[in-house]
Structure 1
Amino acid sequence: MIKRIIKSIKFRLGMISEGELNVEACLKMGMKLGKNVHGVAACMLDYAHCWLIEIGDNVTFAPQVYLLAHDASTQKLLDYTKIAKVIIEDNVFIGARALIMPGVRVGKNSIVAAGSIVTKSVPENTVVGGNPAKFITTVADYKKKHQEIMQTAPVYDKSWLMQEGITAEMREKMNRDLENTLGYIV
């Protein structure tokens, strides 16, 4: 009980930030987290309302994604802060520095582009991006487009990854290969 009070005081005084409150703390507070979720530890989770966040199975978060279940824009006007659930369904990819606002549901098999500000729910099987995020294409068309590009683009196997020991020569070759084009890596 005393530890919780001290932590609450430190949080309110700004001695610890939301980023320092880890996924485990959010799970203890009631956040729901599915299986095979990657990158959630690099997200900024709305600790103050984390029990309103639900993340499905097979979800990937790129770095610095924000999941907000509250929006204090109404605080000065109404003396109340807006709150709503944030639901990320199964098989979703959310790009770096995307911001998911309260009340948003990201549908199954969807992609949110990096830097997007998502203020409205995302239908299943769609790609959205921008500020505010808007429909770009279907996931099926996105996949088809990139499969076509891969026919002529540089494609690299696992040996080209840092954790697999990419060499200096390989890094130089990749730099030359990708001078003016897009490539793909496993």
Structure 2
Amino acid sequence: MFNRIKKSLMIRLGMLSREELTVEACLQRGMKVGKNCSGLAGSTIDYAHCWLIEIGDNVTFAPQVYLLAHDASTKRYLDYTKIAKIKIEDNSFIGARVLIMPGVTIGKNAIVAAGSIVTKSVPEGSIVGGNPARIIGKTEDYINKHRLNMETAHVYDKNWTIGGNITLDMCNKMAEELENTVGYVK
């Protein structure tokens, strides 16, 4: 009984432990996450409203994404905090340090550029970026451009990654080859 009261008080005071802020803790509280989702553990999830967050299949999160399902700007004036769902649909990519605000849906096959602040929903198959995020292109066009670019660019297999045990010589070679150009790694 005491532990439950202590935990409730800690939550109200914003003193949550690292264990309570895990993806697993959010799933236990009702957050929904589909299959083959990667990078979510490196994100900050609105634990206080995580049951309002739904993530589809094959979604990739770059580091330090922030999912915020509440907006306390109304609290002082109305004595209520605005809350709304966040939905991230299948096959989306969310770039590093993106902030997704309450009430936003990221459509299927969308790409959100690093550092963006997403205040409005993103249409399916769109690329958005900026503050506030705006449509800057279509996912299909972007992928086709890079598919074509790969025909002449340096392309590296998994051996050229830390997980593939890249050597120092390989690191130096890659850095040299990519001096003024873009490459691709598996």
Give the TM-score band, short-chain normalised: over 0.9
Stretch deviating more after TM superposition (35-44 or 9-18): 9-18
Q: CA deviation at 1:18?
A: 7.1
Give the residue type in structure 2 aligned to 1:169. Answer: D
Count of residues in correspondence between the two structures = 186
SS of 1:163's partner is coil
Distance apart, 1:149 and its partner CA: 2.0
1:52-71, Cα deviation, whole Å (9 max, x unpaired): 00011111111110111001
Change (3 A) 1:170 1:20: farther
Query: In the TM superposition, what are the counterparts of 1:1-186 in structure 2 within 5 Å?
Result: 1-16=1-16, 21-186=21-186
Look up the equivalent residue of 1:97 and give its one-letter code: R
User: Gapped runs of 5+ residues in structure 2?
Assistant: none
SS of equivalent to 1:176: helix
Distance in structure 2 (CA, Å) of the matches to 1:19 and 1:141: 41
Deviation at 1:17, TM superposition (A): 5.7
Distance in 2, matches of 1:2 and 1:91, equals 44
Provide the secondary structure at the position in 2 that maps to 1:30: coil
Q: 1:126 to 1:183 in 2, by over 3 A?
A: same
One-letter code aligned to 2:48: A
Answer yes or no: is the 8 Å Cα contact 2:117–2:130 preserved in 1. yes
- Equivalent position SS for 2:135: strand
Partners of 1:29 and 1:50 in 2: how far apart? Answer: 7
Contact 1:159 1:166 in 2 (8 A): yes
Structure 1: give runs of 5+ residues left out of the alignment. none
TM-score normalised over the length of structure 1: 0.94
Say if 1:104 and 1:18 are closer, same or farther in 2 by CA, change over 3 A: farther
Per-residue deviation, 1:15: 3.5
Structure 1 distance, partners of 2:50, 2:17, is 14
Change (3 A) 1:165 1:76: same
The verdict on how the C-alpha distance between 1:44 and 1:18 changes in structure 2, with shifts beyond 3 A counting, is: farther
Distance 1:14 1:85, change over 3 A: closer
SS of the equivalent of 2:152 reads coil
Query: Residues of 1 paired with 2:95 and 2:137: CA distance?
Result: 16
Give 3-state SS (helix, strand or coil) of 2:36's partner. coil
Which 10-residue stretch deviates more, 76-85 or 124-133? 76-85
Shift of 1:126: 0.8
Q: d(CA) in 2 for partners of 1:150 and 1:26?
A: 39
